[in-house]
Every structure is written in C-alpha cells, then in structure tokens.
Amino acid sequence: MTEQDDIEQLIRQMADDLRARLEAARVRDALMVGIHTGGLWVAERLHALLGLEQPLGELDISFYRDDFSRIGMNPQVRPSRLPVSVDERHIVLVDDILHTGRTIRAAMNELFDYGRPAAITLAVLGERSGRELPIQADVVGRHFDLGEHEHVKLSGPEPLRLSILEAP
C-alpha cells in the first residue's frame, strides 16, 4: 500500500526527471499523451507540473489490444484524442503501471497510425517484473517487487491510490 502523499511526491519526482530529460534533449513543444484510464490520471498531474504548452492527448488502446478475440469488444471504449499532429513531434507517453509491455506496444502502434513521431519517451508511475516485450520506461516513479500472483493497481482519480492485490 502506498499512501496518497507518497504518490503525489513520486509524480513530482517524475516531473523533475522528465523536465531534465526534455531540456537535455532540447525538446520544445512536446506532446504528452496519457493512456486510459490510470495513465491519464498520472499524465494530467505531470502535464500541470511541467506546464506544457500543448494540450494533453489521450489514448484508448482497446482497438489495438492483441487479446481482442479472447476478451471481445468493450462498449465503453472512449475515443482517442490527440489535439495536434504527432508528425515530427516528441511524444511523452504516460501510463500507470508497466508490466508485460503489451499496452505500450498497442499504444505505440496507435500513435504511429496518427503519424510519424520524432521520438517517444515513456514515463510510468510504477514498474514491475514480467515483461513479455523488449520495452523499458525512461522515467519510472517506483519499482515494485511482486510475487508471481500479486498485482499492483492504481485507483483514482481523487485521491490516487496504489494497491497490491492477490490475483485469483
């Protein structure tokens, strides 16, 4: 269990880290994109802390999931919204927890269907072991050491709360 204050603190650290990175790479005009739903909550906070010029983008990766034929269509899909063109732009992709890497794969596929970004930086609030794809985050709030049957879940949006659950 991670407390609310800790999470806001983690996000502030992530923002500092990100700012440093973007400055080092001389990136101006970055587009931040949050992945529905938890990633978007984290992105909203990062976006405010960094004071980015471009509005926040959002992605719903339901149409890109590779397990579609097993789990079927979710009618509560929200449309993805990217306020500006992604072409030749630096994208900061934000998610809550990085686990297998499949969500990020789907999100990147979708981003490329909108255009050709100059670069993508990945920022996640938490990461854990269990990667199934060669994907790593550039900015990580916290690392979780979890047992095989444990899961970490972000609830929100107010307050944000991370819980570790025993998977059935």
Binding site for other proteins (CB under 8 A): 60, 62-64, 68-73, 75-81, 87, 109-110, 112-115
| Minimum distance, C-beta of residue 80 to other proteins, in the bound complex (Å) | 6
Q: Which is nearer to other proteins, 1 or 73 (CB)?
A: 73
Distance of CA 7 to the CA centre of its chain: 15
Is the CB of 31 or the CB of 125 nearer to other proteins?
31
Looking at beta carbons only, is 117 or 156 nearer to other proteins? Answer: 117
Q: Which is nearer to other proteins, 79 or 134 (CB)?
A: 79
- Please report how close the Cβ of residue 119 comes to other proteins at its closest, in angstroms: 18
Residue 126 CB, nearest approach to other proteins (Å): 28
- 98, 144 Cβ separation under 8 angstroms: no
User: Which residues does residue 155 pair with via DSSP β-bridges, in sequence order?
Assistant: 161
Q: CB of residue 36 vs other proteins: minimum separation in angstroms? A: 11
Which residue, 41 or 64, has its beta carbon nearer to other proteins? 64
Of 7, 106, 14, 24, give the one whose Cα is nearest residue 62: 106
Structure tokens at 50: 């960094």
C-alpha span between 30 and 150 (Å, rounded): 35
Smallest CA-to-CA distance from 86 within 40, 46, 118, 54 is with 118
Q: How far is the CB of 108 from other proteins (least distance, A)?
A: 12
Residue 117: name the closest of 88, 146, 140 by CA. Answer: 88
